[in-house]
Amino acid sequence: MEIRVLRRLEEKNKANADEIRTLLGRHGVSLLNIMGSPGCGKTTLLEHLLPKLGERFRCAVLEGDLFTTRDSERIAALGTTVIQLETQGSCHLDAALVLRGLRELPLSDLRLVMVENVGNLVCPASFDLGETARLAVLSVTEGHDKPSKYPLLFTRADAVVISKTDLLEHTDFDTAAAERDIRKYNANVPVFTFNHRAGPSHQFTDWLLERV
Amino acid sequence: MEIRVLRRLEEKNKANADEIRTLLGRHGVSLLNIMGSPGCGKTTLLEHLLPKLGERFRCAVLEGDLFTTRDSERIAALGTTVIQLETQGSCHLDAALVLRGLRELPLSDLRLVMVENVGNLVCPASFDLGETARLAVLSVTEGHDKPSKYPLLFTRADAVVISKTDLLEHTDFDTAAAERDIRKYNANVPVFTFNHRAGPSHQFTDWLLERV
């Protein structure tokens, strides 16, 4: 009986994700699903990206959090349209909540919506949000062993950003080992770097622009 | 129907947790459940604690991970009895798996078993493992906003360790703000510090010894 219920939940999520894909297609909007541990730098990445992207086209952000609107306040301070998706304690975003968020946005004026998922290296990776691309963020302070210990997110990512490289010298993070492990699960995935002082590498911004 | 299944799972977990409490009581063993984000320093905390505690009594470790035996290898290198609890992709430990692990240990020779939960700031907090005490670990590199964004773990913790304080000067972590937020959810919880070079504060070791 447990298995039947899980399947029903997955089917329901798939139906909502399909509806998101249809909605995005109709408006020509791309959706980036940003995932990673708590405090790995997802909001800081958005803070670096939004002013740059805003020169080219209009973006919006869906901010996933269990509680509080702290991250939304940081995004709103940049003048970007942001909607808080408060999961009320749940460990991931699902397609139903993202669909509700998208329906609140002026989609016909937008080119890109970035979803900041709940900080969690495990659960969000299992949920199809109807996204155009999935981004995994891994900070050097978490350690290079994390892709092997939490492989699902890296297996299904369209790109990986190694963040907080400005702290690299204070850690024993081995970038080559991390990349080698990531490529065991996802042979051709691009791996980019993100120095929190200087911003993400321009190769990452180029990769993102190609998805819009 | 979904709610009924969840309740059945919770009841089943509670029954296993009760069995753990009986088993621990019979052998006079304490169980510490260590929780926190991926890479927050749970294994490193064990590496600092085990040689010190080993001078006083025999300990063992149950290592929770989705995949790999990397952390178990680090603990075994210290000469400590360790059993890997591989969740095969699941985001938390449950009492059934911990009970199986405990049954593999020479409980009558032990005083303390430390459980390193899966790296996750959300899901492990919901599962009663029959533990004597629950420890929440928060690293300064994750940011002081995490207790408010992920309150459940902090609400239910018997103690909090703020880890990686050796990196404090390279972050904007505000220790007073973190403590203030933690105490909003858990007024009297003790909050300790852990410098990864020097080890956890002796106040933390004293707190732990009082639980054995």
Percent of chain B with pLDDT over 70: 97
- Per-residue confidence (pLDDT) for residue B142, from 0 to 100: 98
Name the average pLDDT for chain B.
95
Q: For the segment B168-202, what is each residue's pLDDT rounded down to a tens digit?
A: 999 999 999 999 999 999 999 999 999 999 999 99
Cα first-last separation, chain A: 42
Distance CA B51, CA A37 (A): 30
CB contact under 8 A, B149 and A91: no
Per residue, the 3-state secondary structure of chain A, as one string, reads CHHHHHHHHHHHHHHHHHHHHHHHHHHCCEEEEEEECCCCCHHHHHHHHHHHHHCCCCEEEEEEECCCCHHHHHHHCCCCEEEEEECCCCCCCCHHHHHHHHHCCCHHHCCEEEEECCCCCCHHHHCCCCCCEEEEEEEHHHCCCHHHHCHHHHHCCCEEEEECHHHHHHCCCCHHHHHHHHHHHCCCCCEEEEECCCEECHHHHHHHHHCC
- Note down the domain range covering A7: 2-210
Question: Residues with Cβ < 8 Å from B155, sequence gap 6 or more?
Answer: B185, B186
pLDDT class of B2 with cuts at 50, 70, 90: very low
Taken in order A39, A204, A153, B62, the sign of the CA dihedral is: negative
Write out the residues of chain A at the interface with chain B, using a CB-CB cutoff of 8 A.
1-2, 5, 8-9, 37-39, 65-68, 70-71, 89, 91, 118-123, 139, 141-143, 145-146, 148-152, 164, 167, 170
- Determine phi and psi for A48, rounding to 5 degrees: -75, -40
CB contact under 8 A, B141 and A66: no
Q: How close, in Å, is residue B67 to chain A by CA atoms?
A: 5
Asked whether the predicted pLDDT for residue B36 surpasses 70, the reply is yes
Question: Residues with Cβ < 8 Å from B59, sequence gap 6 or more?
Answer: B50, B53, B80, B110, B111, B112, B113, B114
CB contact under 8 A, B9 and A2: yes
B-chain CB neighbours of A39 within 8 Å are 37, 139, 141-143, 146
> Which of A9, A66, A121 is nearest residue B38 as measured by Cβ atoms?
A121
Residue of B nearest to A122 (CA): B91
Q: For the segment B135-146, what is each residue's pLDDT rounded down to a tens digit?
A: 999 999 999 999
CB contact under 8 A, B68 and A141: no
Q: How close, in Å, is residue B65 to chain A by CA atoms?
A: 7
Using alpha carbons, select from A11, A103, A6, A114 the residue that is nearest to residue A60.
A114
Using alpha carbons, select from B127, B155, B143, B148 the residue that is nearest to residue A36.
B143
- State the complex-level ipTM: 0.91
Q: How close, in Å, is residue A108 to chain B by CA atoms?
A: 32
- Per-residue confidence (pLDDT) for residue A10, from 0 to 100: 80
- Per-residue confidence (pLDDT) for residue B7, from 0 to 100: 66
CATH number for the domain that contains residue B55: 3.40.50.300
- Spell out the per-residue pLDDT of chain A, length 212, in tens: 345 555 677 889 999 999 999 999 999 999 999 999 999 999 999 999 999 999 999 999 999 999 999 999 999 999 999 999 999 889 999 999 999 999 999 999 999 999 999 999 999 999 999 999 999 999 999 999 999 999 999 999 999 999 999 999 999 999 999 999 999 999 999 999 999 999 999 999 999 999 99
A-chain CB neighbours of B2 within 8 Å are 5, 8-9
Whole-Å CA distances, B59 to A48, B34, B50, B113: 47, 15, 7, 6
A-chain CB neighbours of B70 within 8 Å are 145, 148-149
For B201, which DSSP code?
-
CB-defined contacts A:B, below 8 A: 116
Domain count of chain B? 1
CB contact under 8 A, B65 and A143: no
Distance CA A109, CA B35 (A): 43
The pLDDT of B19-46, averaged and rounded, is: 98
B-chain CB neighbours of A136 within 8 Å are none
- Per-residue confidence (pLDDT) for residue B6, from 0 to 100: 60
Residue of B nearest to A124 (CA): B91
- Per-residue confidence (pLDDT) for residue A6, from 0 to 100: 59
- Per-residue confidence (pLDDT) for residue A9, from 0 to 100: 78
- Per-residue confidence (pLDDT) for residue A4, from 0 to 100: 54
For B150, which DSSP code?
S
Q: Give the orientation angle of helix A202-210 with respect to helix A42-54, to 10 degrees.
A: 70
B-chain CB neighbours of A142 within 8 Å are 37-39
Asked whether the predicted pLDDT for residue B41 surpasses 60, the reply is yes
- Per-residue confidence (pLDDT) for residue A158, from 0 to 100: 98
Residue of B nearest to A44 (CA): B143
A152 and B89 in contact (C-beta within 8 Å)? yes
- Per-residue confidence (pLDDT) for residue B5, from 0 to 100: 58
The pLDDT of B51-71, averaged and rounded, is: 95
And the tokens for A18? 């399909």
Distance CA A77, CA A80 (A): 7
